[in-house]
Chain A
Amino acid sequence: MEYFAPTQASEATALLKKEGAYVLAGGTDLLVKLKSRMLKPNVVIDLKALPKIKAIEKTTSGWWIGAATPCAEITEHEELTKEWPGVCEALGLIGSTQIQGRASLGGNLCNASPAADSVPAVIAANTICVIATENGEREDLVENIVLSPGVTSLKPGEFILGFKLPRSQGRSGDSYLRLIPRTEMDIAVVGVGVSLSLDKAGNLETIRVCLGAVAPRQVLLPDLQKTCIGKQPSEELVQTLVELARKACSPINDKRGTVDYRTTVAGVLTKRAFKIALERAQAK
Chain B
Amino acid sequence: MSKKHISTVINGDAMEFLASPEQSLLDILRDELELTGSKEGCGTGDCGACSIMLDGRLVCSCLVLGVEADGKNIDTIEGMGNGSDMHPLQKKFLEHAALQCGICTPGILIAAKALLEKKPDPTEEEVRYWLAGNLCRCTGYDKIVRAVLDTAADMRAA
Contact = CB atoms under 8 A, between A and B. Distances in A.
Contact of B44 (A26, A32, A44, A102): A32
Interface in B27-75: 43-45, 48, 51, 54, 57-60, 62-65, 67-68, 70
A97 B58 contact: yes
Contact of B65 (A31, A97, A99): A31
Contacts, number: 86
Looking at chain A's contact residues, the main secondary structure is mixed
Looking at chain B's contact residues, the main secondary structure is mixed
Interface residues of A, number: 27
Interface string A247-271: 0000000000000000000000000
B133 A27 contact: no
B21 A99 contact: no
Interface residues of B, number: 32
B62 A31 contact: yes
Contacts of B133: 95-99, 185
B60 A98 contact: yes
Nearest to A182: B132
Contact of A1 (B21, B24, B43, B68): B21
A102 B64 CA distance: 9
Nearest to B48: A98
A101 B57 contact: yes
A31 B87 CA distance: 32
A184 interface: yes
Nearest to A34: B22
Nearest to A72: B57
Interface string A88-103: 0000000111110110
Contact of B60 (A2, A34, A44, A99): A99
Given A101-B57, A101-B59, 6 more contacts: A1-B21, A3-B21, A5-B70, A46-B68, A98-B48, A99-B45
